[in-house]
Amino acid sequence: MKILNYGSLNIDHVYQMPAFVRAGETLSATDCQLHTGGKGLNQSVALARAGACVFHGGKIGADGIELKDFLENAGADCSFLRIDPDVPTGHAIIQVVPSGENCIIIYGGTNKQITEAEIDETLAHFEAGDLLLLQNEISNVNYLIHRAHEKGMITVLNPSPITAELLEYDGLSLLDWMIVNRGEAETLAGSGSGEPIDVIEALQAKYPRASIVMTLGKRGSMCLSRGQRFYSRTYDYAKRVDTTGAGDTFTGYFLAGLAKGAPLDKCMDMASRASGLSITIAGAANSIPNLETVLTAEPIELQ
Ligand code: RIB
Q: What is the pLDDT of residue 138?
A: 98
> Which contacts (CB < 8 Å, 24+ apart) does range 196-200 have?
196/222, 197/222, 197/229, 200/224
Inter-residue contact 174 to 148 (CB < 8 Å): no
User: Does residue 1 carry a pLDDT above 80?
Assistant: yes
Q: What is the pLDDT of residue 8?
A: 98
Kindly report the average pLDDT of the chain as a whole number: 97
Ligand 1: distance of its center to the CA of 226 in Å?
A: 31
Q: What is the pLDDT of residue 201?
A: 96
Full-prediction pTM beyond 0.95? yes
User: Does residue 302 carry a pLDDT above 90?
Assistant: no
For residue 137 and ligand 1, the question of a CB distance below 6 A is answered with yes
pLDDT tens for 7-22 read 999 999 999 999 999 9
Asked whether residue 29 is domain-assigned, the answer is: no
Closest atom of ligand 1 to 247 CA is 1
Closest atom of ligand 1 to 37 CA is 6
Burial class (CB in 10 A: 0-12, 13-18, 19+), 261: exposed
User: Which residues, including other chains, have CB under 8 Å from residue 94's CB and lie 6 or more apart?
Assistant: 12, 13, 14, 15, 37, 102, 103, 104, 105, 244
**Closest protein CA for atom 9 of ligand 1:** 38
The domain that contains 200 carries what CATH number? 3.40.1190.20
Burial 26-55 (b: 16+ CB within 10 A, else e): eeeeeeeeebbbbbbbbbbbbbbbbebebb
pLDDT tens for 175-188 read 999 999 999 999 99
pLDDT band at 70 (very low <50, low <70, confident <90, very high): very high
Asked whether residue 27 is domain-assigned, the answer is: no
Asked whether residue 144 is domain-assigned, the answer is: yes
Asked whether residue 174 is domain-assigned, the answer is: yes
Percent of the chain beyond pLDDT 70?
99
**Closest protein CA for atom 8 of ligand 1:** 38
Q: What is the 3-state secondary structure (H, E, C) of the chain?
A: CCEEEECCCEEEEEEECCCCCCCCCCCCCCEEEEEEECHHHHHHHHHHHCCCCEEEEEEECHHHHHHHHHHHHHCCECCCEEECCCCCCEEEEEEECCCCCEEEEEECHHHHCCCHHHHHHHHCCCCCCCEEEECCCCCCHHHHHHHHHHHCCEEEECCCCCCHHHHCCHHHHHCCEEEEEHHHHHHHHCCCCCCHHHHHHHHHHHCCCCEEEEECHHHCEEEEECCEEEEECCCECCCCCCCCCHHHHHHHHHHHHHHHCCCHHHHHHHHHHHHHHHCCCCCCHHHCCCHHHHHHCCCECCC
Quote the CA–CA distance of 300 and 217 in Å, as a whole number: 17
Asked whether residue 302 is domain-assigned, the answer is: no
Q: What is the pLDDT of residue 191?
A: 77
Total count of domains within the chain: 1
Beta bridge partners of 82: 59
Asked whether residue 22 is domain-assigned, the answer is: no
Quote the CA–CA distance of 289 and 213 in Å, as a whole number: 21
Asked whether residue 98 is domain-assigned, the answer is: no
For residue 60 and ligand 1, the question of a CB distance below 6 A is answered with no
Q: Which domain range does residue 133 map to? A: 3-9+39-88+112-296
Asked whether residue 117 is domain-assigned, the answer is: yes
Q: What is the pLDDT of residue 303?
A: 64
Cα–Cα separations (whole angstroms), residue 276 to 80, 116, 228, 248, 252? 31, 37, 25, 12, 13
Ligand 1: distance of its center to the CA of 92 in Å?
A: 7
pLDDT tens for 83-139 read 999 999 999 999 999 999 999 999 999 999 999 999 999 999 999 999 999 999 999
User: Does residue 192 carry a pLDDT above 90?
Assistant: no
